[in-house]
């Protein structure tokens, strides 16, 4: 039973460690690590080289030279070779590439010696003394391959603002432009990228909160946004690759454990979670792989020297890994802008329509305005050259903004406006029944979305005589459509001339061979379309000729009051025998040779037999045999270019 309890306790411990380790990865949180392995102390120097951190010198009950290495991979401390100089407190240091450096400080007297530590050999090597006066409580940092140190105390009360550059390749010190602020000691210093920073510190009677940036390229100092916390000294300053931090320290007779983050890009400060240990002064720390470590230090009010050591996980700004790309679409299509980040974040898309960027909200043509993909349905041509960007918000309300170079181009959609082809018969009047066809509208849109006023131009608008004329649509405008006008054609067809009709007995003959329509007393006679019509009723007869869909005016009218089947004299030709059974002869009563078309119609006016271009003369008899005709009255017509003649034919069976 005792063994089981031991196992349960062990599992609980492992689970607790797992929870704490996981919690340490939460942004803007502190997690306590293994205590510093050396004696309690304050006023030490700390820096990092590669994946390891280092702390050394300082004071417990006496000044110290011991030097320690921290390995964050297994949360362990190991003692290294002691600092090569004399024991001291309030020294300054930094690291350059694979080496660490410590110099100056207080060993009952102020020092200016300067030492290099090589972690690969665990050896300290004395280097050229610091170039300025011996001092303590100076601010220091490194930029690239150079180190920098300045400000501090050169005696018990005198503070300075001189500033020096160290070149390890040449092992030389060069004085640079004085620090931009007032003389001071116990200031916080760090570097971000190719710039260095110094802020806070004390001057007799003054606790500073100004903050300055150093540019080694032109050796200048520029005042930046003031540190927003209370003025202080003996604070800690640490930087990662992209951010700087100042916290803790003496704010005037009391201590603070606040912790502030500086953004170089925005020149702004943000308050972060307070240091989780006790408020203190003269702490030491470093950063490794963008993780901040802070520990040890002193509570002079209660005479407590600390060995606790803490890890801070900074907030990481969201990184945009894929910028939105410009979009070119045709009106009627959907545009999508996409942004990709290194991890999950929240999104807010913005649009610049020429008046500056403003937030987009979902609705209308916009959707997914707070997602990684903005969708714009049916943007119009007027939105061409609008710009889009996304503000990405990540941990601790850190934001990143896409570059704003993503533009929208909307190309007008082709729209064909076609004038429909038309036909009319020549009637002396203008044509007005024009019509237009559209091809290319989006679903749900029609002519109402177009501007302008539809008009018809071209030669058709004034045409009244027969011919072919252009119908030209015009006058419509659009921004979202590219209008292509296509002309139509108006064909005005000739109206045939009215026929001249003559009478031969009961037969009526039209001077026009085809396209007749006979009328009796103004009423169309159904089926009577030939050039000869045999009247069977009394009344007024005329014909209308239709050709190509166009009708002539009415022919002359003939009034018949005595319809009969008696033959009327016709001097031009003879038919014999007459009556007959369908076999008969035709003889022309002329002396010369003539050429005629011979046509035979039944009593309904229907053509039942025809021979074109028959040669007949007074000496030539034309014999005709009709196949199976029915008994009745027929009409024989002889027709040439000049005349038409008709005669009754009687067939009995």
The average pLDDT across 33-53 equals: 97
Confidence of residue 563 (pLDDT cuts 50, 70, 90): low
Homologous superfamily of domain range 320-411: Immunoglobulins (2.60.40.10)
**What pLDDT, on a 0 to 100 scale, did the predictor assign at position 562?**
64
**What pLDDT, on a 0 to 100 scale, did the predictor assign at position 628?**
67
Could you confirm whether domain 501-651 is CATH 2.60.40.3080? Answer: yes
Whole-angstrom Cα distance, residue 508 to residue 166? Answer: 131
What would the DSSP string read from start to end of 389-425? Answer: EEEEE-GGG-EEE--S-EEEEEEPEEEEEEEPPEEEE
Does residue 5 register a pLDDT over 70? Answer: no
**What pLDDT, on a 0 to 100 scale, did the predictor assign at position 401?**
92
Whole-angstrom Cα distance, residue 431 to residue 429? Answer: 7
Tell me: the pLDDT tens digits for 113-126? Answer: 999 999 999 999 99
Q: Do domains 320-411 and 501-651 have the same CATH topology?
A: yes
**What pLDDT, on a 0 to 100 scale, did the predictor assign at position 639?**
83
Does residue 138 register a pLDDT over 60? Answer: yes
Most confident by average pLDDT, 394-403, 549-558, 632-641 = 549-558
In the chain, what are the domain boundaries?
11-313, 320-411, 420-493, 501-651
The average pLDDT across 68-80 equals: 98
Does residue 274 register a pLDDT over 70? Answer: yes
**Percent of the residues in the chain that have a pLDDT greater than 90, as a whole number:** 76
Confidence of residue 15 (pLDDT cuts 50, 70, 90): very low
Does residue 74 register a pLDDT over 70? Answer: yes
DSSP state, residue 383: G
Does residue 4 register a pLDDT over 70? Answer: no
Q: What counts of helices (H) and strands (E) characterise the chain?
A: 1, 61
Judge contact between 215 and 202, C-beta under 8 A. Answer: no
The residue that leads in pLDDT, 146 or 631, is: 146
Which structure tokens are listed for 145? Answer: 């391959």
Whole-angstrom Cα distance, residue 330 to residue 404? Answer: 22
Does residue 536 register a pLDDT over 90? Answer: no
Most confident by average pLDDT, 368-382, 535-549, 572-586 = 368-382
Task: Provide the H-helix boundaries in 165-324.
Answer: none
Does residue 618 register a pLDDT over 80? Answer: no
CATH number, span 11-313: 2.120.10.80
The average pLDDT across 480-495 equals: 96
**What pLDDT, on a 0 to 100 scale, did the predictor assign at position 571?**
67
Which structure tokens are listed for 72? Answer: 């964050």
Give the N- to C-terminal CA distance of the chain in Å, as an integer.
Answer: 139
Report the DSSP pairing between strands 573-576 and 366-367.
unpaired
Flag whether the pTM goes above 0.85: no
Tell me: the pLDDT tens digits for 302-313? Answer: 999 999 999 999
Whole-angstrom Cα distance, residue 429 to residue 460? Answer: 12
Does residue 13 register a pLDDT over 60? Answer: no
Does residue 294 register a pLDDT over 80? Answer: yes
**What pLDDT, on a 0 to 100 scale, did the predictor assign at position 46?**
98
Whole-angstrom Cα distance, residue 276 to residue 328? Answer: 53
Does residue 8 register a pLDDT over 70? Answer: no
């Amino acid at each position: 039973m005792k063994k089981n309890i031991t196992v349960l306790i062990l599992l609980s411990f492992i689970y607790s460690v797992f929870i704490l380790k996981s919690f340490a990865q939460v942004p803007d949180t502190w997690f306590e690590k293994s205590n510093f392995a050396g004696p309690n102390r304050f006023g030490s120097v700390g820096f990092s080289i590669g994946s390891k951190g280092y702390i050394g010198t300082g004071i417990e009950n006496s000044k110290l030279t011991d030097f320690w290495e921290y390995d964050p991979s297994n949360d362990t401390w190991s003692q290294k070779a002691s600092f090569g100089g004399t024991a001291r407190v309030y020294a300054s240091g930094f690291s350059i590439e694979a080496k660490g450096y410590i110099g100056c400080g207080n060993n009952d007297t102020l020092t200016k010696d300067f030492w290099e530590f090589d972690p690969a050999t665990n050896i300290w090597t004395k280097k050229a003394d610091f170039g300025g006066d011996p001092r303590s409580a100076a601010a220091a940092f490194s930029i690239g391959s150079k180190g920098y140190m300045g400000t501090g105390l050169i005696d018990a009360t005198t503070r300075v603002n001189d500033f020096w550059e160290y070149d390890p390749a040449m092992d030389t010190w060069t004085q640079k432009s004085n620090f931009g602020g007032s003389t001071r000691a116990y200031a916080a210093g760090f570097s971000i990228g190719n710039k260095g920073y110094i802020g806070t510190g004390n001057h007799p009677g003054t606790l500073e909160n100004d903050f300055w940036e150093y540019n080694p390229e032109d050796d200048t100092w520029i005042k930046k946004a003031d540190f927003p916390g209370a003025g202080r000294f003996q604070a800690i300053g640490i930087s990662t690759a992209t951010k700087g931090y100042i916290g803790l320290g003496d704010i005037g007779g009391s201590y603070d454990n606040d912790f502030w983050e500086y953004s170089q890009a925005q020149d702004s400060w943000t308050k972060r979670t307070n240091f989780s240990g006790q408020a203190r002064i003269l702490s030491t720390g470093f950063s490794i792989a963008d993780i901040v470590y802070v520990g040890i230090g002193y509570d002079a009010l209660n005479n407590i020297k600390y060995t606790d050591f803490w890890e801070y996980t900074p907030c990481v700004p969201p990184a945009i890994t894929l910028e939105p790309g410009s979009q070119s679409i045709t009106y009627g299509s959907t545009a999508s802008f996409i942004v990709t980040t290194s991890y999950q974040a929240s999104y807010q898309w913005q649009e610049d329509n020429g008046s500056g960027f403003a937030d987009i909200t979902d609705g209308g043509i916009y959707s997914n305005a707070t997602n990684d993909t903005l969708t714009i349905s049916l943007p119009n041509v007027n939105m061409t050259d609008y710009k889009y960007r996304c503000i990405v918000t990540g941990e601790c309300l850190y934001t990143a903004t896409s570059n704003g170079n993503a533009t929208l181009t909307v190309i007008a959609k082709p729209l064909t406006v076609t004038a429909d082809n038309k036909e009319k018969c020549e009637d002396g009047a203008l044509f007005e029944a024009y019509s237009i066809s559209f091809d290319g509208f989006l679903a749900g849109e029609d002519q109402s979305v177009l501007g302008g006023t539809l008009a018809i131009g071209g030669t058709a608008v004034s045409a009244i005589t027969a011919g072919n004329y252009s119908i030209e649509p015009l006058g419509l405008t659009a921004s979202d459509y590219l209008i292509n006008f296509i002309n139509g054609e108006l064909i005005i067809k000739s109206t045939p001339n009215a026929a001249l009709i003559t009478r031969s007995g009961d037969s009526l003959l039209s001077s026009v061979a085809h396209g007749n329509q006979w009328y009796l007393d103004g009423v169309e006679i159904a089926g009577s379309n030939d050039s000869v019509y045999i009247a069977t009723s009394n009344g007024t007869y005329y014909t209308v000729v239709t050709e190509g869909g166009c009708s002539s005016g009415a022919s002359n009218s003939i009034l018949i009051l005595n319809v009969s089947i008696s033959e009327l004299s016709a001097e031009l030709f003879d038919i014999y025998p007459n009556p007959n059974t369908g076999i008969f002869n035709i003889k022309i009563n002329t002396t010369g040779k003539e050429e005629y078309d011979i046509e035979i119609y039944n009593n309904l006016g229907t053509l039942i037999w025809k021979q074109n271009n028959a040669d007949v003369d007074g000496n030539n008899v034309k014999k005709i045999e009709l196949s199976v005709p029915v008994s009745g009255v027929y009409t024989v017509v002889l027709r040439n270019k000049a005349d038409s003649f008709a005669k009754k034919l009687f067939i009995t069976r």
